Amino acid sequence: VIFRPMTFRRKLLAMFALMVLVSVTAVAWIIASLTRRTFDQADEARTAASVAQFHREFNRRGNEVVNRVETIAASEGTTRMALAVSRGSLDYGPFLNEAHAVAESQQLDLLEFVDSQNTIISSAQEPAKFGYKDAHFSPSEVSKDAFLKQEDLPDGAALGLFAVREISLGEKPLFLIGGSRIDKNFLSSLELPDGMRAMFYENLGTGFSAQFLIAASGPAQQADRVAPIVQQIQQQRRESTTLVHWSSDAVDDETITAIPLSGSDNQLLGVLLIASSRRPYIELRQHIRSTALLAATAGILLAILLSGWAAARVTRPIEELAQAAREVAAGNWNTQVPVSSRDEMGELAESFNHMTRELLAQKKYLVQAERVAAWRELARRLAHELKNPLFPLQLTVENLLRARQQSPGQFEEIFQESASTLLAEISNLKTIISRFSEFSRMPEPHLQQIQLNDLAQNVARLFQGQLQAPLHVPIECKLELAESMQPIAADPELLHRALSNLVLNAIDAMPQGGTLTLRTRQADDLSYIEVSDTGTGLTPEECDRLFTPYYTSKPHGTGLGLAMVQSVISDHGGRVSVQSEPGRGATFMIELPRNFSKLRRDVLSGNATSATARNT
């Protein structure tokens, strides 16, 4: 994995996106929290209103039952029954269906006529129960208001809202117990707000039994989920609110408020369960989440746009500066950056431009100074080089003149010697001049595919004979050639001359003998060839000036050899360097690129030139 450092633009983008994300998340969280709190408050209020409405409905139904029971108590049929009871000669037969008929006419679910002994005379809910005692009624507990009471029916016990009236026409009173059953019809009569529903648990046994839980639509579904709430009420007898999960989907959740309902003897007879759906809240929460997600997405997109714009405004000058700096580093010292603002970035750009201008001026000055120094050096070198042959020439000519004047007899002999000396010195002068001429006329490299190992071997072979001469100092020549050298595109003749120069220098550096090593190696796309000696070595100052033209540390050197080497290597796009310490020899290292792209261009241009020539 290649790790690439984030650009300033990407950092800016990430920062913007993070800020938007954090902001939207924070806002969404705040809104969701506020919504939940508001919903909970509204839910509490709705539940309270529903409970209040239940109590109102409970009371209203109670009053209704009271009114109906009073109406029955005042009826002729009841009076007739009361008279029969007071006479004590009661025949149940005529009254068998009395309670049922009256209950139907008064729309009461439950109605019983009971005498003072608690004996049922007529029962609407269980006509066959005549003559039996009403186990859940005591004449001593007659109340003016309606109350909750358990009633045994043939198909099981039930709860009802009852009212009792006493009709006394003699010594033996008649009691009228009428009621409205609390069942699904009662629940469906409750007008609850949307999203709320009521359930009722008839506490007719011990513990929880699903069959006693009813809803407005009939038997309640998944009654076991409500069991813990009912059991809690059975134990604690106080109102409680619980969140019930009906399914894995949160929208089905309901908050259930359970209210205990007791009878006249404070016995827990029923539990009213007001369920409030969490669906509106869950849907609102989901809506907030989706909106927040949408806003975050839009925000991030906006951040991208903003960062792009900001980059154009902020990072572009920096990028231009960076690019300009790279160009300066590459040697283009006259690089300038546009100054587009007057802020800190503008000042920075202005300073950069000032810096490059100063650098350029310094460079010109240095070049000029160096050029002057070079001319001076050239002049000195030329003077020095030319002075050496000229002095013998002068002495020879003066000797000839003196010999002609003082020893004419020997003049011929002296003339012959002097003429040969003059010719030799003139030859030296010509040699000196041809060297300078050669350096000034350094040719362009003609590239072709070569192997550095072949080049090294050729050079070594060239100097092998010289080194093995009997009178020559003992110098061992070693070849350390890498096996996996890649071919490169180079001018073999120029490289041969450059490498030969280095070998000559190495030989010159070992007057007492030593070891000369030619070494090649490959590193990525770069090929290396090194020339090492075990000679006297170079000082750091010598190393710094070594490739300066006309600089030489040798008594008879022209100072053009290494300059020529550097020129050749530079023309091949490579570099030459030296590593040396005094007394420990020196190593010259040539680094060459493969140059195949140049080779192709040269081939194409060569072909084009050939074609042009043919056409011409």
Partner 1 sequence: MKLTGFPLLVASSLLLTTVASAAMRPHYGGTLHVAMQVAPQSLDPADITRSDWIESRNLLRLMFDTLVSLDEQGKLEPALAISWQSESGNQRWQFFLRRGVTFQDGSPVTTDAVAASLRKTNPTWKVFSEGEAVVIERDSPTPNLSSELALPRNSIAKREGGKITGTGPFTIAQWDAGKKLILTARDDYWGGRAFLDTIEIELGKSLREQTISFGLGKTQVIEVAPEQAHRAATEAVRVESSAPVELIALVFGPDSKSAEYAKQRQVLALSIDRDLLNTVVLQGGGEPAGGLLPNWMTGYEFVFPTALNLAQAREVRSEIPHTTSWTLGYDLADPTARVIAERISLNARDAGLGLQITSSSTADLKLVRLSLVSSNPEIALSELATALGLPQPKFSSGSIDDLYTAENNLLQSQLVIPLLHMPTAWALSTTVNNWKTNRDGSWPLPRVWLAAEKP
Question: Which range of residues in 8-16, 51-59, 123-131, 499-507 is near partner 1 by CB under 8 A?
Answer: 123-131
Asked whether position 96 contacts partner 1 by CB under 8 A, the answer is yes
Q: What does the longest C-alpha to C-alpha distance in the chain come to?
A: 203
Asked whether position 76 contacts partner 1 by CB under 8 A, the answer is no
Question: Which range of residues in 90-98, 236-244, 259-267, 559-567 is near partner 1 by CB under 8 A?
Answer: 90-98
- Of 92 and 439, nearer to partner 1 (C-beta) is 92
Which tokens belong to 89?
A: 């000669």
Among 52, 83, 128, 473, which residue sits at the site for partner 1 (rule: CB under 8 A)?
Answer: 128
Give the shortest CB-131-to-partner 1 separation in angstroms: 7
Give the shortest CB-235-to-partner 1 separation in angstroms: 31
Question: Which range of residues in 125-133, 242-250, 458-466, 519-527 is near partner 1 by CB under 8 A?
Answer: 125-133
Let me know: does 506 contact 531? Beta carbons within 8 Å. yes
Give the CA distances from residue 598 to residues 247, 521, 565, 595, 602, in Å, rounded to whole numbers and listed in that order: 76, 22, 20, 5, 6
Give the CA distances from residue 562 to residues 28, 370, 492, in Å, rounded to whole numbers and listed in that order: 75, 18, 17
Q: Tokens 């020899």 label which residue?
A: 585
- Of 132 and 375, nearer to partner 1 (C-beta) is 132
Give the shortest CB-268-to-partner 1 separation in angstroms: 26
Q: How many CB atoms lie within 10 A of CB 555?
A: 5
Let me know: does 537 contact 580? Beta carbons within 8 Å. yes
Among 31, 71, 80, 92, which residue sits at the site for partner 1 (rule: CB under 8 A)?
Answer: 92
- Of 27 and 153, nearer to partner 1 (C-beta) is 153
Question: Which range of residues in 85-93, 403-411, 414-422, 584-592 is near partner 1 by CB under 8 A?
Answer: 85-93
Let me know: does 86 contact 223? Beta carbons within 8 Å. no
- Kindly determine how many residues on this chain lie close enough to bind partner 1 according to the rule CB under 8 A: 13
Question: Which range of residues in 130-138, 302-310, 426-434, 556-564 is near partner 1 by CB under 8 A?
Answer: 130-138
The arrangement of strands across the sheet holding 254-262 comes to 218-219, 213-215, 196-202, 268-277, 254-262, 240-244
Question: Which range of residues in 28-36, 127-135, 284-292, 439-447 is near partner 1 by CB under 8 A?
Answer: 127-135
Question: Which range of residues in 27-35, 88-96, 232-240, 438-446 is near partner 1 by CB under 8 A?
Answer: 88-96
The C-alpha angle with vertex 140 and arms to 70 and 200, in degrees rounded to 5, equals 70
Give the shortest CB-128-to-partner 1 separation in angstroms: 3
Asked whether position 94 contacts partner 1 by CB under 8 A, the answer is yes
Among 130, 162, 352, 588, which residue sits at the site for partner 1 (rule: CB under 8 A)?
Answer: 130
Which residues 6+ apart lie within 8 Å of 476 measured at CB? 514, 515, 516
Asked whether position 582 contacts partner 1 by CB under 8 A, the answer is no
- Of 93 and 465, nearer to partner 1 (C-beta) is 93
Question: Which range of residues in 86-94, 233-241, 538-546, 549-557 is near partner 1 by CB under 8 A?
Answer: 86-94
Give the shortest CB-121-to-partner 1 separation in angstroms: 10
Let me know: does 190 contact 101? Beta carbons within 8 Å. no
Name the DSSP letter for residue 2.
-
- Of 19 and 128, nearer to partner 1 (C-beta) is 128
Question: Which range of residues in 91-99, 231-239, 325-333, 538-546 is near partner 1 by CB under 8 A?
Answer: 91-99
Give the shortest CB-130-to-partner 1 separation in angstroms: 6
Identify how many contiguous H helices and E strands the chain contains and give both numbers.
14, 18
- Of 101 and 450, nearer to partner 1 (C-beta) is 101
Rounded Cα distance between 346 and 340, Å, is 6
Give the CA distances from residue 428 to residues 127, 408, 432, 558, in Å, rounded to whole numbers and listed in that order: 156, 29, 6, 13
Give the shortest CB-55-to-partner 1 separation in angstroms: 35
DSSP labels, 123-183: ESS-GGGTTSB-TT--GGG--SS-EEEEEEETTEEEEEEEEEEEE-SSSS-EEEEEEEE-S
Among 2, 3, 4, 93, which residue sits at the site for partner 1 (rule: CB under 8 A)?
Answer: 93
- Of 91 and 541, nearer to partner 1 (C-beta) is 91
Asked whether position 530 contacts partner 1 by CB under 8 A, the answer is no
Asked whether position 139 contacts partner 1 by CB under 8 A, the answer is no
- Of 97 and 286, nearer to partner 1 (C-beta) is 97
Rounded Cα distance between 432 and 533, Å, is 27
Residue 192 host element (H or E):
none
* Residue 140: closest CA among 158, 159, 122, 114: 114
- Of 152 and 166, nearer to partner 1 (C-beta) is 152
- Of 124 and 447, nearer to partner 1 (C-beta) is 124
- Of 130 and 463, nearer to partner 1 (C-beta) is 130
Q: Facing residues of 197 across strands?
A: 275
Let me know: does 102 contact 111? Beta carbons within 8 Å. yes
Rounded Cα distance between 545 and 377, Å, is 13
Among 15, 55, 56, 131, which residue sits at the site for partner 1 (rule: CB under 8 A)?
Answer: 131
Task: Report the relative pairing of strands 268-277 and 196-202 from DSSP bridges.
Answer: antiparallel
**Helix/strand/coil for 270:** strand
Asked whether position 91 contacts partner 1 by CB under 8 A, the answer is yes
Asked whether position 137 contacts partner 1 by CB under 8 A, the answer is no
- Of 204 and 422, nearer to partner 1 (C-beta) is 204
Give the shortest CB-113-to-partner 1 separation in angstroms: 14
Asked whether position 126 contacts partner 1 by CB under 8 A, the answer is yes
- Would you tell me which residues interact with partner 1 (CB under 8 A)? 91-94, 96, 126-132, 154
